Amino acid sequence: MNEQKQPKRKKQRVKKKQNMQPTYAENRPRKKRPVSSSRKKKSLKKTLKKIGGKVLRSLKQKETIWLLILLTVIVLFFLRFSTHRVDGQSMEPTFQTNDRILISPNSTLSRYAVVTFEPKNIKNESYVKRIIGMPGDRIQLMGNALFLLPKENEKKEKVDLTTEVPDGTIKIMVSEAVMNQLHQYERIPKDRYFVQGDNRLHSDDSRVFGLIDKAQIEGVVLYRYYPFSKMGIVH
């Protein structure tokens, strides 16, 4: 009998996954490409630009703050003080023409303080003079000679200023109009002041127009701010 040949079975081959290990070349660290100098410069410019922008914004903010502070100071300054330009020689040598002065309207009036005031019947004008006579000072006339005794120097209530002339008495020659105005007084009335220019020979002051009222006074001259070579407190 013929034996039937059985077909040969193909052996199934299974390919085993090989353990793929990287080669030595793959394990080696990759070399970093050198950064060109132009790229470095660009990077540095960008960094500096960012820093500069931040600094600029910060400075702008600070400038705004300082500008607001400056504007506030200026507003407060003009609310509290006023300024004048001197014109004329009546206050020489203390002031000369074109001197700029600072006036405080809230300062206390005192003897020998320099003040600015508005003369009566003359609009848009200001005079600068020095206070010589204060309210309460003793005054006495002999002809057109005015004898003025500051109240702080007065030791006796009744004294003839024209004959005894106590220490501190000031003798001032006045106009006939002022003589007639002051003849009724033994003391300078309340809120009235006798003023004179430092340059006695070239000054129209209380010797000519008489006492001034407190309401006429704009303020006390505190400071001269121009010319810069003469800047300083006024005495």
Which pLDDT value is given to residue 121?
82
Which pLDDT value is given to residue 1?
47
231 touches 147 (CB < 8 A): no
**What DSSP character marks residue 35?**
P
Q: Which residues pair with 192 in a beta bridge?
A: 213
Which pLDDT value is given to residue 184?
93
128 touches 84 (CB < 8 A): yes
Which pLDDT value is given to residue 25?
47
**Consecutive sets of 10 residues in the chain, 235 residues long: mean pLDDT of each?**
52 52 52 57 68 69 77 75 93 96 94 95 90 96 94 83 88 95 94 97 95 96 94 91
Which pLDDT value is given to residue 93?
95
Distance between CA 178 and CA 198 in Å, rounded?
19
The answer, as to whether pTM is greater than 0.75, is no
Q: Would you call 12 exposed, middle or buried from its count of C-beta atoms within 10 A (0-12, 13-18, 19+)?
A: exposed
Output the six-digit token pair for 16.
Answer: 């085993």
Distance between CA 52 and CA 81 in Å, rounded?
42
Which pLDDT value is given to residue 38?
64
| φ, ψ (nearest 5 deg) of residue 112 | 75, 5
Of 235, 208, 11, 201, the closest CA to residue 101 belongs to: 235
